[in-house]
Chains A and B, each alone.
Chain A
Amino acid sequence: MKKITLLAAILCLGNVVFAQKMMTRVGEIKFEASMPAFEEIAAKNSTVSSILDQSTGDFVALALVKAFKFKAPLMEEHFNENYMESSQFPKATFKGKIVNFDSKKLSASKTTYDLEGDLTIHGVTKSIKAKIILATTAGKISAATTFLVKPQDYKIDIPNLVKGKIAENVKVAIDFLLQAN
């Protein structure tokens, strides 16, 4: 009897530990849509929220579009008003899963996992696949991934006049340091 209670207690404790959610509010997303020989089109958002559920590998992230910072305010204005229509679609989200995630197997050395899920930008949801690199140090998990996004896929219209200046595939780089709340 004692053994069973002890076992139950250990199991419960285990659940508590592994149900731990790792999160960040200051995740970083950078993107670049520059074309060679033209003006640099790049922005950075360092206030991205993200949660990783260690027990399931569920991974979610939310970026507010208006928090993307460009070098030139005018470019930022165009990005918000003409392309992303951020007053109508204020956020970009990702909801997905890290395939075969096992928190016990994480180590200080970088390991590549598959990331699958739905990316919502400009009110349009598409399922995407990417590689995500995970590593853990001092109780924190670093997660980094890069993928390409086609503005066309998300119904972001680019006028013919500037088509040559904006890359067809926008490079998106993500860098999060997740920690227990």
Chain B
Amino acid sequence: MSKKVKIIGIVIVLIGVVGLGVFQYVMHGGERNLSTETTDFTLTSKAISDEFTADIDGSNKKYLEKAVAISGTITAVTATGITLDTTIICNLKTPDATIQKGKVVTVKGRVVGYDDLMGELRLDQCLLLNNN
């Protein structure tokens, strides 16, 4: 009798663990964490925006989805992110109230794509590598 109870108990716990694992995988699997990822490209805001204006398709192939570190001067701060040199729009992963316009920073983020309507490059999941 007690053996049966034990087995049932173990089975229930196992189902629970597997269920939790599946749930975690479905809800959070494949999530990227830019803070631990290696940086694929490190360059200035001007260099990357020049590359995109010269050859959108080629640059898309090279940079899309990649983790890049871009340095530049902050020209605008919004509720969700910052703009570097008016051409790089970065959506921050966690909003930071200490960020100020005019500072020279390096931002690491995922390249989402080039907006040729506005002539701007978009990054998301951004974090500041230095904020002096």
Residues of A within 8 A of B (CB): 23, 25-26, 46-47, 49-51, 60-62, 64-67, 71-74, 76-77, 86-87, 90-91, 93
CB atoms of B124 and A67 under 8 A apart: yes
Q: Which of B29, B112, B116 contacts A66 (CB 8 A)?
A: B112
List, sorted by A's number, 21 A–B pairs whose CB atoms are closer than 8 Å. Answer: A25-B118, A25-B120, A26-B78, A26-B80, A47-B89, A47-B91, A47-B124, A62-B115, A62-B117, A67-B113, A67-B122, A71-B27, A72-B26, A73-B30, A73-B31, A74-B30, A87-B64, A90-B60, A90-B113, A91-B113, A91-B115
B28 lies within 8 A of chain A by Cβ: yes
CB atoms of B27 and A90 under 8 A apart: no
* A71 partner residues in chain B, CB cutoff 8 A: 27
Output the least CB separation between B99 and chain A (Å): 18
46-63 of chain B: CB within 8 A of chain A: 60-61
Q: Is the interface of B mostly helix, strand, loop or mixed?
A: mixed
CA distance A50 to B64 in the complex (A): 22
Output the least CB separation between A160 and chain B (Å): 21
On chain B, the number of residues with a Cβ less than 8 Å from chain A's Cβ atoms is 26
Interface string of B6-24 (1 = CB under 8 A from A): 0000000000000000000
* B41 partner residues in chain A, CB cutoff 8 A: none
Q: Which of A51, A64, A73 contacts B29 (CB 8 A)?
A: A73
Interface string of B102-125 (1 = CB under 8 A from A): 000000000011111110101010
CA distance A46 to B89 in the complex (A): 13
Output the least CB separation between B19 and chain A (Å): 16
* B117 partner residues in chain A, CB cutoff 8 A: 49-51, 60-62, 93
CA distance A90 to B61 in the complex (A): 10
Chain A minimum-CB-distance residue to B31: A73
B65 lies within 8 A of chain A by Cβ: yes
CA distance A61 to B118 in the complex (A): 10
Assuming the contacts A73-B30, A77-B30, asked whether A65 and B113 have C-beta atoms less than 8 A apart, the reply is yes
CA distance A50 to B118 in the complex (A): 9
* A25 partner residues in chain B, CB cutoff 8 A: 89, 118, 120
* A73 partner residues in chain B, CB cutoff 8 A: 28-32
CB atoms of A74 and B112 under 8 A apart: no
* B60 partner residues in chain A, CB cutoff 8 A: 87, 90
71-94 of chain B: CB within 8 A of chain A: 78, 80, 89, 91
Chain B minimum-CB-distance residue to A23: B118
CB atoms of B112 and A67 under 8 A apart: yes
Assuming the contacts A72-B26, A73-B30, A90-B64, asked whether A49 and B113 have C-beta atoms less than 8 A apart, the reply is no
26-45 of chain B: CB within 8 A of chain A: 26-32
Assuming the contacts A64-B122, A72-B26, asked whether A90 and B91 have C-beta atoms less than 8 A apart, the reply is no
Tell me which of B113, B118, B124 has the highest count of chain A C-beta atoms within 10 A of its own C-beta.
Answer: B113
